[in-house]
């Protein structure tokens, strides 16, 4: 879609409801009031407010929506969040490569990797992307904010933030549990309980989750024949809350998660009909098995979803083990203190996170390149907030100070076939200070203006040691010692108008914002054949984002339309590249590739067609173009290397759309509910190199529930068509990752609130 057509469409969608205000309609009926859309309360602006009154593009999913939409882990959010992509990383199913509005991070397993958006669990920022495919346990609500939010949040919000909010105990008690079984040896169990602890001023809660899956693929290597696709996750969370002092609220939280897998995601594949100097697509991939992993001519094509890669026996160097496996452990503890000063509320959020990540995997899908990782990182953060109102409540304010410290190490080992190649050690430390504030002032009862500013100072230390084990292909030793400091001041301004409504409109909010986002520079911790990339730090990425939006409820709260158009000018876009320095010898530099313009229309529509039927649609229309390219960067090199006329900004498909429905009816056995959703996506470039294009695809999912008394029986199916879709991978490495195949799950749930 051309830029001017997209802009016209966005303006038309925004102005159509305003024009409709002049039309008369019948007054709302009491029946439709009862069957209309429910109010959604969010904390996107760090205070509770109705979703429809917040002038930010926010996707909010409550506990029921998460269950019905089968949002069981972080990667599932991309089906319901405009412009968001969460691709599997080639290292482990617990690591995702995230992107939003054209900003991305692909080397998610690195200790120095930084997400393009903030990830928060109960307001505690998670710095490591290792284990960011969070298995959702006892989550009350997920909020995804799009656009820079630095004037509201303590840590990085270059293009947005994802907030996972768990249930906090209070005066109301609850007890929930579920068990489920499915194909591929799936089983799933969860438990959650909370409430007051006797007659005291204390409340507590406890939750636990266990999931298991196996058998998605079959390894045909005679020496290691076994089922592959193993994943086991268990997580637990405990909260203790004190409410014994007037105006004081204290919550202590502790959670632990352990994820195990066989770290073998890559299906071996080749593109036999595509020359090496031409871009290939996901439709060109032929999957099969290598009878001799080091000989491409030994590749035998086989049926889809039937086989997986052979495993090359042997361990070492470094963390590499003889059989691929992965395990991620994460501890998150926090102390949240809130005190009502009557003229404002003081908040303190103290967080500690420890992440341990291990994987030993085959990066080629055919035994050509084996790699192992051992990571251990501690982070400590402290956020102080003052939130309140003044001037007869016409002025709302938030002011905050934030401190963040992260320190840890990462060991890598690399092997080419049976030949030990190299080992590396990274020691990294980040210390960050920031101050932020945002003021909202009501010019009138309907018109509000916003102004905010943020100051950030990041200091990063990076020590890297390279040991080559295959001379003269690799140097014997290399040592890198770098320290860099990055500072930035980022402002935000906005205006919103709560339009007086009548007739068919129940509420209407129009808003416009301009905000700057910032992500500091950093380092590259991948060195397989040398340490040149580790010696070269990359600089910060910034953007200016201009946005207009509309939020409206209509037709007696039966139709909700939230839409926004954004125009983003990104400077020094940070991209991960794959460079073949010699036949079969690759490096993976991180580059400030250039400047880009990314714009798009994002929309979320929900309609209560009848008291029993709800329809929904969400998606985005995106357009990403480079304004300037560094001639040495991967996108510029792609013009020559792969005969591409115009490189594309990665992971900005022209369209993504999800449509679906929920239908419920009361029967003799209980409340029966059926639902389905279908996700459509246009083609997109996977990474900076521009050599791999995923073709358009669609995936359907469905559920059915029967509720009676306090029990609910649930049946779910994901990937109804059982389609084999390759969403990421590498022709050079010879391995590709398909989206999960069709799975079903039957569960029984008990709930007492």
CA distance 316 to 322: 8
Residue 220 is predicted with a pLDDT of 65
CA distance 516 to 19: 32
Residue 154 is predicted with a pLDDT of 87
3-state SS record for 218-232: EECCHHHCEEECCEE
Residue 739 is predicted with a pLDDT of 86
CA distance 103 to 295: 37
Mean pLDDT, 10 residues at a time, the chain of 753 residues: 47 44 34 66 93 96 89 90 89 85 90 93 92 77 95 90 94 95 94 93 96 79 68 94 96 95 84 92 88 76 62 81 90 97 95 96 80 96 96 96 98 90 96 97 97 97 96 89 97 97 91 97 92 93 98 95 98 90 79 96 96 96 96 93 92 96 94 96 94 95 95 96 87 83 94 88
Pairing of strands 590-608, 299-301: unpaired
CA distance 113 to 104: 10
Residue 496 is predicted with a pLDDT of 97
CA distance 364 to 732: 8
Half-sphere exposure of 94 (CA within 13 A, CB side): 29
Q: Strand, helix or coil at 634?
A: helix
CA distance 250 to 240: 8
CA distance 541 to 109: 20
Residue 441 is predicted with a pLDDT of 98
Task: Fold for 3-752, please state it.
Answer: Maltoporin; Chain A (2.40.170)
Tokens found for residue 310? 């052979």
Residue 26 is predicted with a pLDDT of 33
Select from 258, 252, 256 the least CA-distant residue to 122: 252
Other CB atoms within a 10 A radius of the CB of residue 520 amount to 24
CA distance 617 to 562: 11
CA distance 453 to 469: 50
Q: Which residues pair with 378 in a beta bridge?
A: 354, 407
- Do the beta carbons of residue 652 and residue 635 sit within 8 Å? no
CA distance 2 to 460: 41
Instruction: Could you list the beta-strand ranges (E) of 391-446.
Output: 395-416, 419-442
Measure Cα distances from 669 to 4, 672, 697, 706, 752 in Å. 54, 8, 38, 8, 19
Residue 304 is predicted with a pLDDT of 57
What b/e sequence results for 62-85 when a residue is b if at least 16 CB atoms lie within 10 Å of its CB, and e otherwise? beebbbbbbbbbbbbbbbbbbbbb
Select from 369, 370, 372, 368 the least CA-distant residue to 290: 368
**Domain chopping of the chain, boundaries:** 3-752
Instruction: Could you list the beta-strand ranges (E) of 557-644.
Output: 559-576, 579-582, 585-587, 590-608, 613-629
pTM of the predicted model, to two decimals?
0.92
Residue 707 is predicted with a pLDDT of 95
- Do the beta carbons of residue 231 and residue 293 sit within 8 Å? no
Residue 364 is predicted with a pLDDT of 78
């Amino acid at each position: 879609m051309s830029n001017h057509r997209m802009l016209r469409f966005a303006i038309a969608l925004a102005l159509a409801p305003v024009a409709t205000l002049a039309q008369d309609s019948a007054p709302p009926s009491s029946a439709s009031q009862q069957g209309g859309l429910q109010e959604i309360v969010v904390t996107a602006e760090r205070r509770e407010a109705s979703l429809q009154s917040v002038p930010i593009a926010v996707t909010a999913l409550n506990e029921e929506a998460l269950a019905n939409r089968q949002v069981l882990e972080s990667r599932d959010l991309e089906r319901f969040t405009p412009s968001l992509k969460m691709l599997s990383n080639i290292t482990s199913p617990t690591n995702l490569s995230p992107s939003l509005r054209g900003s991305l991070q692909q080397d998610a397993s690195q200790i120095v990797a930084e997400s393009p958006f903030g990830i928060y669990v109960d307001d505690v920022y998670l710095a490591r992307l290792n284990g960011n495919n969070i298995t959702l346990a006892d989550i009350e609500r997920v909020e995804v904010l799009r656009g820079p939010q630095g004037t509201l949040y303590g840590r990085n919000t270059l293009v947005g933030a994802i907030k996972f909010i768990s249930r906090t105990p209070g005066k109301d008690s609850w007890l929930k549990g579920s068990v489920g079984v499915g194909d591929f040896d799936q089983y799933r169990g969860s438990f959650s309980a909370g409430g007051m602890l006797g007659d005291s001023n204390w409340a507590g809660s406890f939750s636990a989750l266990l999931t298991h899956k196996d058998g998605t693929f079959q390894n045909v290597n005679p020496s290691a024949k076994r089922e592959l696709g193993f994943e086991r996750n268990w997580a637990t969370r405990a909260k203790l809350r004190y409410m014994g002092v007037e105006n004081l609220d204290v919550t202590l939280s502790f959670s632990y998660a352990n994820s195990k897998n066989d770290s073998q995601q890559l299906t071996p594949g080749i593109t036999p009909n595509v020359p090496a100097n031409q871009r290939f697509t996901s439709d060109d991939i032929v999957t099969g098995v290598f009878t001799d992993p080091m000989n491409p001519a030994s590749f035998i094509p086989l049926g889809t979803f039937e086989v997986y890669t052979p495993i090359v026996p042997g361990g070492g160097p470094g963390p590499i083990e003889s059989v691929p496996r992965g395990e991620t452990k994460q501890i998150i503890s926090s102390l949240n203190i809130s005190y009502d000063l009557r003229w404002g509320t003081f908040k303190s959020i103290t967080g500690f996170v420890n992440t341990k990540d291990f994987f030993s995997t085959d990066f080629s899908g055919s035994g050509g390149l084996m790699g192992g990782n051992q990571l251990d990182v501690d982070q400590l953060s402290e956020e102080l907030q003052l939130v309140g109102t003044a001037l007869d409540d016409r002025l709302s304010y938030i002011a905050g100070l934030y401190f963040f410290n992260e320190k840890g190490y990462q060991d890598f080992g690399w092997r080419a076939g049976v030949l030990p190649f190299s080992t590396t050690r990274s020691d990294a430390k980040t210390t960050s200070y920031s101050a932020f504030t945002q003021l909202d002032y009501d010019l009138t009862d309907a018109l509000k203006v916003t102004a905010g500013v943020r100051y950030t100072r990041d200091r990063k230390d990076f020590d890297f040691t390279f040991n080559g084990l295959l001379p003269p292909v690799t140097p014997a030793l290399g040592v890198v010692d770098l320290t860099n400091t990055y500072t930035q001041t980022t402002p935000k301004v906005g205006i919103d108008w709560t339009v007086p409504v009548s007739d068919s409109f129940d509420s209407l909010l129009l808003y416009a914002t301009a905000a700057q986002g910032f992500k500091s520079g950093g380092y590259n911790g991948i060195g397989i054949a040398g340490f040149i990339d580790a010696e070269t730090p990359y600089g910060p990425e910034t953007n200016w984002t201009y946005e207009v939006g509309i939020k409206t409820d209509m037709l007696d709260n039966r139709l909700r339309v939230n839409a926004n158009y954004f125009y983003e000018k990104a400077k020094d876009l940070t991209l991960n590249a794959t460079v073949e320095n010699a036949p079969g010898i690759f490096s993976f530099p991180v580059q400030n590739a250039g400047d880009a313009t990314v714009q798009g229309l994002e929309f979320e529509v929900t309609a209560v067609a009848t008291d029993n039927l709800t329809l929904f649609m969400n998606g985005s229309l995106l357009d990403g173009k480079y304004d300037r390219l560094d001639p040495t960067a991967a996108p510029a090199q792609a013009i020559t290397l792969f005969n591409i006329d115009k490189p594309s900004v990665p992971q900005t498909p022209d369209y993504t759309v999800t449509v679906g429905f929920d239908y419920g009816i009361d029967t003799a056995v209980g409340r029966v509910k059926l639902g389905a959703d279908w996700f459509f996506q246009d083609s997109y470039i996977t990474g900076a190199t521009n050599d791999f294009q995923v073709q358009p695809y669609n995936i359907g999912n469905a559920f059915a529930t029967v509720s009676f008394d306090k029990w609910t029986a649930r049946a779910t199916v994901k990937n109804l068509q059982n389609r084999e879709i390759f969403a990421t991978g590498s022709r050079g490495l010879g391995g590709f990752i398909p989206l999960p195949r069709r799975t079903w799950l039957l569960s029984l749930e008990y709930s007492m609130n």
